Amino acid sequence: MGLFGSKKKADAAPAGGEATLSNGQRVTLARRVDCRGDSCPRPQLMTKKAVGEVATGDLIEVMVDNPSSVEALPPMCNELNATHLETIKDAACWRVYIRKD
């Protein structure tokens, strides 16, 4: 067992894929980070790692179901040289969209 519990899924696994923002714009994702079931600070650490691994202009989708993490991710974008595009709530989680600047 690691520092944050058992490893139940691949951390920040590259996913590619697409997503639709609330304005209807289709975007191509460089990475999906699945942090559902994780509590702070894991979602923040995994987001920081993913932003560090993608190219400038790439988009990341972070899936979280922890309200504290949803609130913590947008403000940390400034220190990551990234921009929070938006957060969308769906039935299972929040989807936070971040673009690396």
Could you read off the pLDDT of 32-50 as tens digits, one per residue? 999 999 998 999 999 999 9
Domains of the chain in sequence order: 28-100 (3.30.110.40)
Contact 36, 93 (CB under 8 A): yes
Q: Is the pLDDT of residue 9 over 60?
A: no
User: How far apart (Å, rounded) are the C-alpha atoms in residues 78 and 31?
Assistant: 19
User: What average pLDDT does this structure show over 19-43?
Assistant: 95
Q: What is the mean pLDDT of residues 66-77?
A: 95
Residue 34 pairs with which residues in a beta bridge? 63
Task: Average the pLDDT over 75-83 and give the result.
Answer: 96
Question: How does residue 14 score in pLDDT terms, banded at 50, 70 and 90?
Answer: low
What pTM does this model have?
A: 0.85
